[in-house]
Amino acid sequence: MWIKETVENITKKYKTNNPFEIIAAKNIILVERDMDEEIYGFYKYIRRNKFIFLNSKLNNPTKRFTSAHELAHVELHTKTNTPFLRRNTLLSVDRIEQEANRFAVELLLPDESIYRYKDTNLSIKEIGGIYSVPEEVTHLKKF
C-alpha cells in the first residue's frame, strides 16, 4: 500500500499523473537515446544528479510507461542505479523492478480512471491499455 500512497502524494503535489511533467518539475534529467530495441530505459544516479534514459525508438505508450517506471526508481530507490528496463523485465521477480512496475501502474492508472469505465464491459487490461499500461503488469493495480 505504501507505493500507492507515495504515488497519491506525488500526483497531489504536482497536480498531474503525467510522468514527463513530474520528471520536469523535479529537475530530473531526461535523456532520449537510440538504444538496442531490447532496452526500454534505465535510471542513473550520479553525484546527486538524477538521470532517466529512454530509448528514442519506443512508441509513445511504451515511453510513457517506461518513464513512469524509471520515475519510480527515482522516488523509491533514489541512490540505486538500476538495470536496464527490458521487454522481459516487465515480468521480473526482482523486488525493485516489481516495485517500480507497481508504482508505474498506480501512476498511470489512478482509481478515478477505472471508475470512469464502470458502466462498460472493459476489462482492467483493456482499461490499462488506454492509459499506456502493458497487459503484463495490470494485475499489479491495487483497487
Kind and range of the H or E run holding 51: strand 49-55
Question: What's 106's domain CATH number?
Answer: 1.10.10
pLDDT category of residue 142 using cuts at 50, 70 and 90: confident
At residue 94, what is the residue type? D
pLDDT digits (tens, 9 = 90+) for 41-86: 999 988 889 999 999 999 999 999 999 999 999 999 887 766 655 5
User: Is pTM beyond 0.85 here?
Assistant: yes
Q: Which domain holds residue 108?
A: 2-140
Domain count, the chain: 1
